[in-house]
Amino acid sequence: VSGFAPGQDRWIAGLGRVRDLVRQTLVARQLAEHLQPGLEVLDVGCGQGTQAIALARDGHSVTGVDASAEMLAEAERAAAAEPDEVRARLRFEQGDALARRDGPHDLVCCHGVAMYLPAIQPLAAALVSAVRPGGLVSLLTRNRAGIAMRAGMQGDWAAALDGFDATRYTNRLGVEDARADDPEAVRSALAAAGAQTVAWYGVRLFCDHWSNSEAPDDVAALLAAEEQAGRRDPYRGLAALTHTIAAAR
Ligand SMILES: C[S@@+](CC[C@H](N)C(=O)[O-])C[C@H]1O[C@@H](n2cnc3c(N)ncnc32)[C@H](O)[C@@H]1O
Protein backbone atom coordinates (compact mmCIF):
# COMPACT_ATOMS: atom_id res chain seq x y z
CA VAL A 1 0.00 0.00 0.00
CA SER A 2 1.34 3.41 -0.94
CA GLY A 3 1.98 5.92 1.87
CA PHE A 4 -0.53 8.14 0.08
CA ALA A 5 -3.48 5.75 0.53
CA PRO A 6 -4.74 7.12 3.91
CA GLY A 7 -4.97 10.61 2.39
CA GLN A 8 -6.57 9.65 -0.90
CA ASP A 9 -10.18 10.59 -0.08
CA ARG A 10 -9.21 14.01 1.31
CA TRP A 11 -6.99 14.64 -1.71
CA ILE A 12 -9.89 13.94 -4.06
CA ALA A 13 -12.20 16.17 -1.98
CA GLY A 14 -9.73 19.07 -2.30
CA LEU A 15 -9.33 18.90 -6.08
CA GLY A 16 -10.15 22.18 -7.80
CA ARG A 17 -10.20 24.09 -4.51
CA VAL A 18 -7.90 26.99 -3.82
CA ARG A 19 -4.76 25.17 -2.65
CA ASP A 20 -4.99 22.61 -5.46
CA LEU A 21 -5.79 25.32 -7.98
CA VAL A 22 -2.71 27.36 -7.09
CA ARG A 23 -0.51 24.30 -7.19
CA GLN A 24 -1.80 22.86 -10.48
CA THR A 25 -1.90 26.23 -12.26
CA LEU A 26 1.63 27.25 -11.30
CA VAL A 27 3.14 23.83 -12.05
CA ALA A 28 1.51 23.84 -15.50
CA ARG A 29 2.67 27.41 -16.27
CA GLN A 30 6.24 26.77 -15.11
CA LEU A 31 6.50 23.50 -17.00
CA ALA A 32 5.08 24.91 -20.24
CA GLU A 33 7.97 27.40 -20.44
CA HIS A 34 10.43 24.54 -20.93
CA LEU A 35 8.57 22.41 -23.50
CA GLN A 36 8.84 21.98 -27.26
CA PRO A 37 5.71 20.86 -29.16
CA GLY A 38 4.66 17.21 -29.53
CA LEU A 39 6.55 15.52 -26.70
CA GLU A 40 6.33 11.92 -25.43
CA VAL A 41 5.55 12.34 -21.73
CA LEU A 42 5.49 9.96 -18.77
CA ASP A 43 3.58 11.23 -15.71
CA VAL A 44 4.64 9.13 -12.72
CA GLY A 45 2.11 9.16 -9.88
CA CYS A 46 -0.32 10.93 -12.21
CA GLY A 47 -3.18 10.53 -9.73
CA GLN A 48 -6.41 12.07 -11.00
CA GLY A 49 -4.64 13.10 -14.21
CA THR A 50 -4.76 16.91 -13.94
CA GLN A 51 -1.32 17.52 -15.43
CA ALA A 52 -1.49 14.56 -17.83
CA ILE A 53 -4.71 15.92 -19.31
CA ALA A 54 -3.39 19.50 -19.47
CA LEU A 55 -0.30 18.26 -21.35
CA ALA A 56 -2.46 16.21 -23.76
CA ARG A 57 -4.60 19.30 -24.42
CA ASP A 58 -1.36 21.10 -25.34
CA GLY A 59 -0.62 18.44 -27.97
CA HIS A 60 1.74 16.12 -26.08
CA SER A 61 1.29 12.30 -25.89
CA VAL A 62 1.08 11.29 -22.26
CA THR A 63 1.25 8.00 -20.37
CA GLY A 64 0.08 8.37 -16.78
CA VAL A 65 1.26 5.76 -14.28
CA ASP A 66 -0.05 5.41 -10.75
CA ALA A 67 -0.04 2.78 -8.00
CA SER A 68 -3.70 3.36 -7.11
CA ALA A 69 -6.51 1.80 -9.14
CA GLU A 70 -8.94 4.33 -7.61
CA MET A 71 -6.83 7.30 -8.67
CA LEU A 72 -6.45 5.84 -12.16
CA ALA A 73 -10.24 5.49 -12.32
CA GLU A 74 -10.51 9.23 -11.47
CA ALA A 75 -8.06 10.00 -14.26
CA GLU A 76 -9.99 7.85 -16.76
CA ARG A 77 -13.22 9.60 -15.75
CA ALA A 78 -11.69 13.05 -16.25
CA ALA A 79 -10.15 12.00 -19.58
CA ALA A 80 -13.51 10.70 -20.82
CA ALA A 81 -14.84 14.28 -20.74
CA GLU A 82 -12.12 15.46 -23.15
CA PRO A 83 -12.51 15.76 -26.95
CA ASP A 84 -11.53 12.64 -28.96
CA GLU A 85 -8.23 14.11 -30.18
CA VAL A 86 -7.10 14.81 -26.59
CA ARG A 87 -8.24 11.39 -25.38
CA ALA A 88 -6.27 9.78 -28.19
CA ARG A 89 -3.07 11.27 -26.74
CA LEU A 90 -3.68 9.87 -23.23
CA ARG A 91 -3.17 6.48 -21.69
CA PHE A 92 -3.16 5.40 -18.06
CA GLU A 93 -1.63 2.32 -16.49
CA GLN A 94 -0.95 0.92 -13.05
CA GLY A 95 2.67 0.89 -11.94
CA ASP A 96 5.20 1.83 -9.27
CA ALA A 97 7.07 5.11 -9.23
CA LEU A 98 10.33 3.39 -8.30
CA ALA A 99 10.32 0.94 -11.21
CA ARG A 100 13.13 1.58 -13.66
CA ARG A 101 11.76 2.35 -17.09
CA ASP A 102 14.21 2.41 -19.94
CA GLY A 103 12.01 4.46 -22.21
CA PRO A 104 13.09 7.36 -24.35
CA HIS A 105 10.57 9.87 -22.99
CA ASP A 106 11.11 13.54 -23.74
CA LEU A 107 9.64 14.55 -20.39
CA VAL A 108 9.06 12.64 -17.16
CA CYS A 109 6.84 14.33 -14.58
CA CYS A 110 6.49 13.29 -10.96
CA HIS A 111 4.42 15.74 -8.97
CA GLY A 112 3.46 15.29 -5.34
CA VAL A 113 4.71 11.72 -4.94
CA ALA A 114 8.18 11.99 -3.34
CA MET A 115 6.68 12.83 0.08
CA TYR A 116 5.09 9.37 0.18
CA LEU A 117 8.30 7.50 -0.64
CA PRO A 118 11.14 6.62 1.76
CA ALA A 119 13.86 8.72 0.08
CA ILE A 120 14.44 11.07 -2.85
CA GLN A 121 17.48 9.39 -4.42
CA PRO A 122 15.88 6.12 -5.68
CA LEU A 123 12.98 8.14 -7.10
CA ALA A 124 15.34 10.52 -8.91
CA ALA A 125 17.23 7.54 -10.36
CA ALA A 126 14.01 5.89 -11.57
CA LEU A 127 12.74 9.10 -13.17
CA VAL A 128 16.01 9.90 -14.92
CA SER A 129 16.19 6.31 -16.22
CA ALA A 130 12.97 6.93 -18.14
CA VAL A 131 14.06 10.10 -19.94
CA ARG A 132 16.13 10.36 -23.13
CA PRO A 133 19.46 12.27 -23.10
CA GLY A 134 18.57 15.95 -23.21
CA GLY A 135 15.01 15.24 -22.07
CA LEU A 136 13.49 16.79 -18.96
CA VAL A 137 12.42 15.66 -15.51
CA SER A 138 9.77 17.76 -13.70
CA LEU A 139 9.70 16.95 -10.01
CA LEU A 140 7.38 18.49 -7.40
CA THR A 141 8.49 17.80 -3.84
CA ARG A 142 7.54 18.97 -0.38
CA ASN A 143 9.94 21.66 0.91
CA ARG A 144 11.40 21.00 4.34
CA ALA A 145 11.38 24.72 5.25
CA GLY A 146 7.64 24.73 4.64
CA ILE A 147 7.01 22.54 7.71
CA ALA A 148 7.75 25.23 10.31
CA MET A 149 6.50 27.95 7.96
CA ARG A 150 2.99 26.55 7.66
CA ALA A 151 2.71 25.71 11.37
CA GLY A 152 3.86 29.22 12.28
CA MET A 153 1.46 30.92 9.88
CA GLN A 154 -1.32 28.87 11.44
CA GLY A 155 -0.26 30.04 14.91
CA ASP A 156 0.68 26.53 16.03
CA TRP A 157 3.87 27.54 17.85
CA ALA A 158 4.68 24.10 19.27
CA ALA A 159 4.49 22.54 15.80
CA ALA A 160 6.53 25.42 14.37
CA LEU A 161 9.28 24.82 16.93
CA ASP A 162 9.26 21.08 16.19
CA GLY A 163 9.21 21.83 12.47
CA PHE A 164 12.54 23.65 12.21
CA ASP A 165 14.57 20.45 12.35
CA ALA A 166 11.93 18.03 11.09
CA THR A 167 12.11 16.05 7.85
CA ARG A 168 8.76 14.32 8.47
CA TYR A 169 5.37 15.87 9.07
CA THR A 170 1.69 15.05 9.19
CA ASN A 171 0.23 16.53 6.05
CA ARG A 172 -3.11 18.23 5.46
CA LEU A 173 -4.51 14.98 4.07
CA GLY A 174 -3.86 13.35 7.44
CA VAL A 175 -0.93 11.26 6.20
CA GLU A 176 1.43 10.83 9.14
CA ASP A 177 5.11 10.53 8.46
CA ALA A 178 5.07 12.26 5.10
CA ARG A 179 8.57 13.31 4.04
CA ALA A 180 10.00 16.67 3.00
CA ASP A 181 13.19 17.51 1.10
CA ASP A 182 15.42 20.57 1.00
CA PRO A 183 15.43 22.05 -2.52
CA GLU A 184 19.23 21.61 -2.69
CA ALA A 185 18.87 17.92 -1.80
CA VAL A 186 16.45 17.45 -4.69
CA ARG A 187 18.89 19.09 -7.08
CA SER A 188 21.74 16.93 -5.74
CA ALA A 189 19.70 13.74 -6.10
CA LEU A 190 18.83 14.61 -9.69
CA ALA A 191 22.47 15.49 -10.45
CA ALA A 192 23.66 12.18 -8.97
CA ALA A 193 21.11 10.41 -11.17
CA GLY A 194 22.41 12.24 -14.27
CA ALA A 195 20.11 15.28 -14.64
CA GLN A 196 21.21 18.90 -14.17
CA THR A 197 18.65 21.36 -12.81
CA VAL A 198 17.72 24.05 -15.34
CA ALA A 199 15.12 25.86 -13.20
CA TRP A 200 13.46 25.59 -9.82
CA TYR A 201 10.41 27.29 -8.37
CA GLY A 202 8.57 27.52 -5.07
CA VAL A 203 4.88 26.64 -5.15
CA ARG A 204 2.36 28.00 -2.64
CA LEU A 205 3.75 30.47 -0.15
CA PHE A 206 1.05 33.00 0.69
CA CYS A 207 -1.98 30.68 0.75
CA ASP A 208 -0.40 27.47 1.98
CA HIS A 209 -1.77 27.80 5.50
CA TRP A 210 -5.30 28.60 4.33
CA SER A 211 -8.12 26.15 4.65
CA ASN A 212 -9.54 25.06 1.34
CA SER A 213 -12.76 26.91 2.04
CA GLU A 214 -11.01 30.29 1.84
CA ALA A 215 -11.53 31.25 -1.79
CA PRO A 216 -10.21 34.72 -2.58
CA ASP A 217 -12.34 37.18 -4.56
CA ASP A 218 -9.60 37.62 -7.10
CA VAL A 219 -7.95 34.29 -7.87
CA ALA A 220 -5.99 35.76 -10.78
CA ALA A 221 -4.29 38.24 -8.43
CA LEU A 222 -3.46 35.50 -5.93
CA LEU A 223 -1.97 33.40 -8.73
CA ALA A 224 0.09 36.36 -9.97
CA ALA A 225 1.49 37.03 -6.49
CA GLU A 226 2.21 33.35 -5.84
CA GLU A 227 3.88 33.05 -9.24
CA GLN A 228 6.25 35.94 -8.51
CA ALA A 229 7.07 34.57 -5.05
CA GLY A 230 7.79 31.18 -6.58
CA ARG A 231 10.34 32.59 -8.99
CA ARG A 232 12.55 34.64 -6.72
CA ASP A 233 14.68 34.44 -3.63
CA PRO A 234 14.16 34.44 -0.74
CA TYR A 235 10.46 33.62 -1.19
CA ARG A 236 10.73 30.44 -3.24
CA GLY A 237 12.87 28.81 -0.55
CA LEU A 238 10.00 29.06 1.94
CA ALA A 239 7.15 27.80 -0.26
CA ALA A 240 5.35 24.59 0.65
CA LEU A 241 6.44 22.77 -2.49
CA THR A 242 9.50 22.87 -4.73
CA HIS A 243 9.15 22.43 -8.48
CA THR A 244 12.47 21.35 -10.00
CA ILE A 245 13.08 20.96 -13.73
CA ALA A 246 16.22 19.12 -14.76
CA ALA A 247 17.72 18.02 -18.08
CA ALA A 248 19.18 14.53 -18.45
CA ARG A 249 22.74 14.19 -19.75
C1 LIG B 1 -0.88 13.82 -4.10
S2 LIG B 1 -1.29 12.75 -5.42
C3 LIG B 1 -0.59 13.67 -6.80
C4 LIG B 1 -1.29 13.38 -8.11
C5 LIG B 1 -0.80 14.19 -9.30
N6 LIG B 1 0.57 13.86 -9.67
C7 LIG B 1 -0.89 15.67 -9.04
O8 LIG B 1 0.14 16.31 -8.86
O9 LIG B 1 -2.01 16.19 -9.00
C10 LIG B 1 -0.06 11.46 -5.20
C11 LIG B 1 -0.22 10.30 -6.18
O12 LIG B 1 0.95 9.49 -6.11
C13 LIG B 1 0.54 8.14 -6.18
N14 LIG B 1 1.60 7.31 -5.60
C15 LIG B 1 2.04 7.31 -4.33
N16 LIG B 1 3.04 6.41 -4.18
C17 LIG B 1 3.23 5.85 -5.40
C18 LIG B 1 4.11 4.85 -5.90
N19 LIG B 1 5.02 4.27 -5.11
N20 LIG B 1 4.04 4.52 -7.21
C21 LIG B 1 3.13 5.11 -8.02
N22 LIG B 1 2.26 6.03 -7.61
C23 LIG B 1 2.31 6.41 -6.31
C24 LIG B 1 -0.76 8.10 -5.42
O25 LIG B 1 -1.53 6.96 -5.73
C26 LIG B 1 -1.41 9.41 -5.86
O27 LIG B 1 -2.22 9.24 -6.98
- pLDDT tens digits, residue range 121-172? 999 999 999 999 999 999 999 999 999 999 999 999 999 999 999 999 899 8
CA of 36 to the centre of ligand 1 (A): 25
Q: Please tell me the pTM assigned to this model.
A: 0.97
The verdict on the CB of residue 47 being under 6 Å from ligand 1 is yes
- pLDDT per residue over 127-136, tens digit each? 999 999 999 9
Any idea which of 1-15, 45-59, 198-212 has the lowest mean pLDDT? 1-15
pLDDT band, residue 211 (cuts 50/70/90):
confident
Using most ligand atoms within 8 A of CB, pick from 1, 2, 139, 241 the residue to mutate for ligand 1: 2
Sign of CA dihedral 222, 228, 233, 236: positive
The verdict on the CB of residue 71 being under 6 Å from ligand 1 is yes
Would you state the pLDDT for residue 93? Answer: 96
Would you state the pLDDT for residue 98? Answer: 95
Residue nearest to atom 10 of ligand 1 (CA): 113
Is 90 exceeded by the pLDDT of residue 102?
no
| CA dist., res. 65 & res. 94, Å (int) | 5
Per the CB < 8 A criterion, the answer to whether 185 and 176 are in contact is: no
Vertex 30 angle, CA 110 and 147, to 5°: 60
Would you state the pLDDT for residue 1? Answer: 52
The verdict on the CB of residue 26 being under 6 Å from ligand 1 is no
pLDDT band, residue 216 (cuts 50/70/90):
confident
Any idea which of 132-141, 164-173, 175-184, 213-222 has the lowest mean pLDDT? 213-222
Would you state the pLDDT for residue 213? Answer: 77
Give the helix/strand (H/E) hosting 200.
strand 195-203
CA of 157 to the centre of ligand 1 (A): 30
Averaged confidence pLDDT in the chain: 96
Higher pLDDT, 212 or 69: 69
The widest CA-to-CA distance across the chain, in whole angstroms, is: 52
Which is it for strands 168-169 and 90-94: parallel, antiparallel or unpaired? unpaired
The verdict on the CB of residue 113 being under 6 Å from ligand 1 is yes
CA of 3 to the centre of ligand 1 (A): 9
Using most ligand atoms within 8 A of CB, pick from 48, 66, 123 the residue to mutate for ligand 1: 66
